[in-house]
Amino acid sequence: MTDDDPIALDAYETMADAYSERVGHAPFNAFLERPATRSLLPDCEGERVLDAGCGPGVTTEELSEAGADVVGLDVSPRMLGHARERAGGCVVRADLGSPLPFPDDRFDGVHSSLAFHYVRDWSALFAELARVLDPGGWLVCSVQHPYADFERVGKDYFAAERIEETWDGFGGPVEVPFFRRPMGALLNGLLGAGFRFEQFEETEPTEQFREAVPETYERVSKEPTFLTVRARLDG
């Protein structure tokens, strides 16, 4: 694999079956990140929505059930297979680190859950999301919290660092690479692409999280884990 290839493709191909089976009730996904991200979604009925980095299609299915005309996009063929089984509809294989295979103004909204940190060039990514959105279109996304990543694995907060972590919760152990950046890379990157911010959330665990992993609840209650954002493209 070269530096230009999708850095986490091999990892997600390896984890795809276990990830699809477990992510719906994995505490950090189901009871921490996803509730916070869902809380920022606008009314999606009748909206054309891109689920960017859809993985096995958990949110793709929810968006469809909410009445959206949704397209799921992911770089992992095995993940897309699960998304197709779970959500039906349209799924597209593409890399968020490359130009997106859609015309200008194709969507009313973009949802993305914990996918951006696998992309090296955020300026190009945010410009592509702006291109495929209608003027006034919305973006709801979650990322790993920049401070939490730095505290856990970072060496230079202000650098864009390529990091690898070992995951053992989805059929692992699997080495999962990603890019760690300062918070300004997200905020200034979106502003530079023409987005304006509507809401931020630094995730706090739900009661379901406490019940599922009480030994982790106190720590996660006192430090950030994920950052969720709703932004809108200037029209």
CATH number at residue 156: 3.40.50.150
The residue to which tokens 């990140």 are assigned: 33
Sign of the dihedral defined by the CA atoms of residues 196, 227, 12, 18, in that order: negative
Residue 1 included in any domain? no
Residue 4 included in any domain? no
Residue 28 included in any domain? yes
DSSP percent split of the chain into helix, strand, coil, nearest 5: 40, 25, 35
pLDDT band at 171 (very low <50, low <70, confident <90, very high): confident
Using the predicted structure, report yes or no on whether residue 2 has a pLDDT greater than 80: no
In terms of residue numbers, what domain contains 25?
9-233
Q: What is the pLDDT of residues 13-71, one digit of tens each?
A: 999 999 999 988 899 999 999 999 999 999 999 999 999 999 999 999 999 999 999 99
Residue 198 included in any domain? yes
Tell me the C-alpha distance between 47 and 53, whole Å.
18
Q: What is the pLDDT of residues 82-123, one digit of tens each?
A: 999 998 878 999 999 999 999 999 999 999 999 999 999 999
What is the number of domains present in the chain? 1
Work out the average pLDDT over 126-131.
Answer: 98
Residue 81 included in any domain? yes
Q: Which residues, 6 or more positions from 211, have their beta carbon under 8 angstroms from its beta carbon?
A: none
Residue 2 included in any domain? no
Least confident of 3-7, 136-140, 167-171: 3-7
143 within 8 A of 116, measured Cβ to Cβ: yes
Rounded to whole angstroms, the maximal C-alpha distance in the chain is 48
